Amino acid sequence: MPFTRLIQTIVLCAALAPAAVFAVVSDLPRLQSGISIDGVLSAGEWADAVRIELDVETEPAENVPAPVRTIAYLVEDGENLYVAFDARDPEPAAIRAYLRDRDSAWEDDHVGIVLDTYNDERRAFQFFANPLGVQMDKTYSDVSSGGNRWEQELSWDAIWESAGQIGETGYVVEMRIPLSQLRFPAVEGRKTWGYDVVRVYPRDRTRWLSSNPQDRDRSCYLCQVSKLRGLDGSEPSRDIEVVPTLTASHVETTDEPGRIPLSSTGMEFEGGLTMRWGITPDLTANLAINPDFSQIEADVLQLDVNNRFALFFPEKRPFFLEGADYFNTPLDAVFTRTVADPQAGVKLTGKRGDHTFGFFMAEDAETNLLFPGVFDSDSETFEFANTALVGRYSYGFDNTSSLGVLVTARDSADYRNAVGGVDGRWKFSDQHSVTFQYLASETEYPLATAIEFGQPDGSFSGDATRIGYEYKSREWFANAEYEDFDSGFRADSGFISQVGARKFEGVVGHFWYGDDDQWWNRVRASVHVEHSQDEDGRMLGHENVLRVGFGGTRQTWFQFAAVDAREFWEGVTYDQRSLRVYAEIQPAGGVSLAALAVIGDRIDYTNNRLGKTFSFEPHISWNIGRRLFFRLKGVYAELDTQDNEPIFNASVADARLTWQFNLRSFLRVTAQATDVERNLEQYIDDEDARSRDVGRQLLYSYKLNPQTVFFLGYSDQYIDDDSVDKLTVSDRTWFMKIGYAWTP
């Protein structure tokens, strides 16, 4: 490091050292009139605002002077919080900014504010925008993330304004955040919030710039931010938001493609209504009547060949996404995609002091069931209806420690599942924390379902336990976890795909940090051990993993993992060794490349033997100019016998091309394909020699805000297997959806 740079760093750290212990408090001025949100710092508009310099780089360097100058301005008018950023840049042509859909510009330059509105150093709202004004908002929890500010909940959406413009000296972003979109306690007089103003500056490295230094020996983020004092007389809004929706669809489908022509019931129209009501400052209700809970966009394809357990697909439906973090627990006991076709739903979420609570209930016309086992799992959708209920309560203490209770239930005429239990997190120092959860379940399936899927007859019960320990400091990290799932445990409102097993895993690792003038900025090395056994003590699997990763210039991350494993399957224990290599890089401003490759041994579960595998998973993101964006995710996998005879090769591709007209609208083309070829000479049971599945979708989207939307689209699906001579259409769908957010 050059001598002058070293002196600057010493002076800065000395000047800011008290801030690492004592929070800096800034007074928030009040405006008498609003500000025009246009991406221009007009003369006089921000004259009374508090001015904050983002002069510290906290990632990847540790609390060194920021390489570029950024000034943030904050002010309020009693109903809105106004934030502006003057982000200077010596090379404006290098600024990364593309027109994208909401919540999709995280790899661009962007600026934002983090607001801990309860000032409890637990949970925060975040508002970010790129230099063109593309909005990105999310929530953050120090309790669930363990202080890792990159682990955040992206599902939350607010209605707010932003605008940005790039100029000769950098870029400007302005924001207007209505207080009605935030939850905060009703207190008299001036309020104190925790806050951080942030600039993300991606060049040779992605740098995190702020006004707050961060101590890496403290595994918390919100406990190290500054305080904002003001908003005298402002009250939490008991806002009402009513969103009527209209969905129109025309579906053509057939059960036997190539033999029976497509048939349709004609155009179908369905109206729905969702509503949000701030009953009190501490309690918010969401109501949905005959809602359209369908997904607008297709899930990203996953390869389902030679897999034993059910695949996980994330939730995308707005009703369930809002406040989803209120229901998070150490075990995956709440997974809202189990609610398949709800006719009505109600949700209550709130926070009062140290108490956080959430509740939702849905009347579901279908029933999704996951049948877990010790060696594999199965799933099915049934036509009978059910009522689903989830309740969650958490009490917070000692900063980020908590105790909680969870109850879930699903019930119909011949089916019921109830789960209940307690959980907690105790953070007893800046580096050490312990988590636990205990759940007990009682389940009864319809007799025909129990027989078909090999489930117990009549009512049965079971329990599940998880205990975890985590240590995190600047240079070392470690964790240990123990899980025990009784064979009779079922969490039908969650996603637990294996029962009848106990598992222990532990990780110990070390970080090394490079200087700014080195090609690398971080090295991570760890040893991971995992051991599982069934209820009789028989080993199911054992795995030893050595991982080493390097981070460097051009957002490079390279990691390899050497794996030595043993696995029990169909009465035989197989020894397996493999090598996994992962790499990612941004060779140019608008291009991101990533790939995972695996080579080594793998069990052929279908034919009960050890094979040799090779798989490759590429991921390409390419901004082709400001408006055009291409993304490709793929998987190629092959499995051979130990004598190099092919068993199968399979590939999955998911390609999406988006033309972003402006901040509010885009046109997207999606193509998805799966292709599996099998060598039938190597198979015990009958299989298709080749099976293909191709889907296409064309979607136009217009979003005035997250709730006022218009979607128009077309999709189709083609299949090909041994019973069909060529790719043949199996279904076609035309659809339209309109939603309008009305606020009185």
pLDDT digits over 175-219, tens only?
999 998 888 887 888 889 999 999 999 988 889 999 999 988 888
Question: Are residues 624 and 654 in contact, defined by beta-carbon separation less than 8 angstroms?
Answer: no
Choose between 722 and 732: higher pLDDT. 732
- Cα gap 725→169, rounded to integer Å: 62
Tally Cβ neighbours within 10 Å of residue 17.
12
pLDDT digits (tens, 9 = 90+) for 641-694: 999 999 999 999 999 999 999 999 999 999 999 999 999 999 998 888 999 999
pLDDT > 90 in the chain, percent: 62
Q: Where are the domains of the chain?
A: 3-230, 307-499
Q: Which CATH number fits domain 3-230: 3.30.420.40, 1.20.140.10, 2.60.40.1190, 3.40.1350.10?
A: 2.60.40.1190
- What is the predicted pLDDT for the residue at 429? 87
Q: What would the 3-class secondary structure string for 557-616 be?
A: EEEEEEEEEEEEECCEEEEEEEEEEEEEEEEECCEEEEEEEEEEEEEECCCCEEEEEEEE
Q: Determine the average pLDDT of the residues in 420-440.
A: 94
Q: Is the pLDDT of residue 6 over 80?
A: no
Q: Which of 414-418, 440-444, 511-515 is least confident?
A: 511-515
The continuous run of DSSP H or E covering 142 comes out as: helix 142-145
Q: How far apart are CA 655 and CA 258, in angstroms?
A: 26
Distance (Å, whole) CA 498 – CA 495: 9
- Answer positive or negative: Cα dihedral of 354, 81, 236, 315: negative
pLDDT at 181: 86
In which band, very low, low, confident or very high, does the pLDDT at 276 lie, cut at 50, 70 and 90? confident
Question: What are 515's two structure tokens?
Answer: 């200087």
pLDDT band at 18 (very low <50, low <70, confident <90, very high): very low
- Confidence at residue 317, expressed as pLDDT on a 0 to 100 scale: 74
pTM: 0.85
Does the pLDDT of residue 293 top 80, yes or no?
no
Q: Which amino acid, one-letter code, is at 517?
A: D
Distance CA 139, CA 118 (A): 13
Bigger pLDDT: 430 vs 507:
507
Q: In this predicted model, what pLDDT tens digit does every residue of 53-109 receive, in sequence order?
A: 999 999 888 899 999 999 999 999 988 999 999 999 999 999 999 999 988 899 999
Tell me the average pLDDT of the chain. Answer: 89
Q: pLDDT for 371-380, tens place per residue?
A: 999 999 988 8
The DSSP line for 56-91 is EEEESSSSEE-SS-EEEEEEE-SSEEEEEEEEE-S-
Put residue 381 in one of left, alpha, beta given phi > 0 → left and psi -120 to 50 → alpha.
Answer: beta
Under the banding of pLDDT at 50, 70 and 90, the label for residue 294 is low
Residue 534 near residue 501 (C-beta atoms within 8 A): yes
In whole angstroms, give the CA distance from residue 205 to residue 217.
23
Residue 221 pLDDT greater than 50, yes or no? yes
Question: What 8-state DSSP symbol labels residue 310?
Answer: P
Q: What is the pLDDT of residues 578-625, one digit of tens each?
A: 999 999 999 887 899 999 999 999 999 999 999 999 999 999 999 999
Which whole-number Å values give the CA distances from 607 to 567, 595, 598, 639, 677, in the listed order? 15, 29, 21, 12, 16
Q: What is the pLDDT, as a whole number, of residue 299?
A: 66
Tell me if 583 sits within 8 A of 595, measured CB to CB. yes
Taking 70 as the threshold, does the pLDDT of residue 300 lie above it? no
Say if residues 350 and 391 touch (Cβ distance below 8 Å): no
Amino acid code (one letter) for 233: G
- Listing DSSP states for 622-675 in one string gives EEETTTEEEEEEEEEEEEEETTS-EEEEEEEEEEEEEEE-SSSEEEEEEEEEEE
Give me the amino acid identity at 53. Answer: E
Tokens 């997250």 belong to 706
Positions of E strands within 117-257:
123-129, 135-141, 161-166, 170-178, 191-202, 206-210, 226-230, 240-253
Residue 173 pairs in a beta bridge with 85, 164
Region 462-491 average pLDDT: 95
Statement: residue 385 has pLDDT above 80: yes
Give the whole-angstrom CA distance, residue 113 versus residue 125. Answer: 8
Bigger pLDDT: 180 or 411?
Answer: 411
Residue type for position 219:
S
* pLDDT value, residue 147: 52
Consecutive H or E run containing 676: strand 665-678
Question: What pLDDT is attached to residue 3?
Answer: 38
Is 1's pLDDT higher than 80?
A: no
Amino acid 146: pLDDT: 55
| Other CB atoms within 10 A of residue 272 CB | 19
pLDDT of 20 reads: 38
